Amino acid sequence: MDVIVQAFLDHLSVERGLSANTQEAYGRDLSQFVVCLRGKGVRAFDEVTEDHLVGFLEALRASGASAGSTRRKLSAVKTFCKFAYRDGFVKRDFTANIAGLKGPQRLPSVLSIEEVSNLLAQPDTRETAGARDKAMLEVLYASGLRVSELITLKTIDVNMDVGFVRCLGKGSKERIIPLGKVAIEYLQRYLLTARGKYVKTTSSEYLFLTNRGTKMSRISFWKIIKKYTAAAGITRNITPHTLRHSFATHLLQGGADLRSIQEMLGHADIATTQVYTHVTQEKLKQVYRKTHPRA
């Protein structure tokens, strides 16, 4: 069984291009499933029945696993089994008759336009770090990049004459995203006045650098967001992904179509993008409840 699981993990890496963290998560979930099967005397995946899978789910619930964790593990097993059946490792898909577990849809946390403006006004652009931080925040909100995409941008990825940024998203898929004039203005200012002060003895190809002249890390940028969130007086838990959600929601509220937003966000499935329609609908409901005399 371990050999087939490893073949699946190799498939995730080589064919689907998933991140190391995602591969490790699949590996942990499937390892737990295999341990459960062996505890029931199962020695090959062709011996697995629907009852074994149901028993695995019941064991998870009995152990106190959260509903979200249980859903994720079932999804991992179903994805694995589809692969194993398709590639001939097993004779039947023992998950075919087991429906996925649906959980409550959690709407993404979104800042209002006023909150975003307040947050982006916090960096002091007269300072080197402030100029860099301002450029990063403006580019993030202007493009809806994931934080991993933002910190791996290279200087050649930005075309300020035309007004776009190029990035490699999940699965190494390239996409081109427009940049607004405000983001371009502060990016140019950063490149002219601040970036050179971060470059050490050897030049770096990365756009945003740390005090050591190295590429910005996820943790470092997370700390930057927290710093300016506190300065803006925003008490909610804000992450770099919050600006990505705000980017998409504000575009939708402004009249952008879902397909365009999907392209800019780099979503493979438009169903992922549709969550932002729920955000705007919920906002409308809140306005209605506050303003209509018979709400």
Q: Among all residues, which ones are annotated catalytic?
A: 146, 170, 241, 244, 267, 276
Are the beta carbons of 258 and 252 closer than 8 angstroms? yes
- What residues have CB less than 8 Å from 190, skipping those under 6 apart? 131, 132, 134, 135
Query: Which has the closest alpha carbon to 74: 86, 60, 84?
Result: 60
∠ at Cα 222 (218, 223), nearest 5°?
120
Exposed, middle or buried: residue 205 (CB in 10 Å: 0-12, 13-18, 19+)? exposed
